[in-house]
Structure 1
């Protein structure tokens, strides 16, 4: 005779694995490459530097 399983644990484990699978798909679909991240960071840094340089002293 097989051992009984806790259906709540089985349901939660299935939900967890489905969420992990969806997260992996979203990382591929919406993720940015390292080059894109560094380009975006350098662009924001440049914009911040330009904005700070345009501030007037009080």
Structure 2
């Protein structure tokens, strides 16, 4: 027979691992400097301006 498992320890270890994973994700998501956020916004705005400038029609829904 195998050794008995303490389910409380298993449950707590699983919760701790999930909490640590969530912390890693939040550090990546929210742990950015203002300069990084500004740079990303500027890049996104540039892409939007470039794609809007290459449209053949003003409104993409006018394809009818």
TM-score range, shorter chain: 0.5 to 0.7
Alignment of 1:35-50 (within 5 A): 35=34, 36-50=36-50
In the comparison of the two structures, how many residue pairs are matched?
Answer: 50
Specify the alignment match of 1:3 in structure 2.
none
Q: Which TM-score applies when normalising by structure 1?
A: 0.53
1:12 aligns with 2:38: no
Q: Which TM-score applies when normalising by structure 2?
A: 0.50
Unaligned runs of 5+ in 2: 1-5, 58-62
Unaligned runs of 5+ in 1: 1-6
